[in-house]
């Protein structure tokens, strides 16, 4: 079982990552790697890092619980809660923006609302 403090730490990091404006490059992989580098995330190769980000997105898109994805990355890849939050946030921003609502929902559940994020829902004009 993951302690409540870890939940909160991951939520804080996800908030910071999701709130950052993404760079509009033609290649999301370049944006993802740049975001990991900007936050000092170590990885064996860019390909391995990209595969991890894409696998995280695929798991979320297939309905996996965000905490299960976090736990898998921490246990299988050896990343800290901080680094895992950055990896998942960067992946959502670049590879699966359709999962931003999942990440935002987790952040809100952890009591970090209101969020200064680029929301995935449509903007309604008045």
pLDDT at 115 over 90: no
Query: How many percent of the chain have pLDDT more than 70?
Result: 67
Q: How far is CA 67 from CA 46, 56, 85, 91, 126, in A?
A: 24, 11, 10, 15, 37
The pLDDT value given to residue 25: 52
pLDDT band at 46 (very low <50, low <70, confident <90, very high): very high
The pLDDT value given to residue 56: 97
């Amino acid at each position: 079982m993951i302690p409540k403090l870890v939940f909160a730490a991951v939520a804080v990091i996800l908030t910071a990552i999701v709130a950052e404006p993404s760079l509009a490059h033609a290649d999301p992989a370049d944006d993802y790697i740049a975001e990991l580098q900007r936050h000092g995330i170590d990885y064996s190769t860019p390909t391995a890092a990209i595969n991890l980000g894409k696998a995280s997105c695929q798991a979320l898109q297939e309905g996996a619980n965000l905490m299960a994805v976090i736990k898998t990355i921490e246990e299988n890849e050896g990343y800290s809660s901080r680094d895992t939050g950055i990896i998942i946030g960067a992946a959502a921003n670049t590879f699966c923006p359709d999962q931003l609502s999942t990440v935002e929902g987790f952040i809100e559940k952890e009591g970090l609302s209101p969020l200064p994020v680029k929301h995935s829902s449509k903007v309604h004009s008045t």
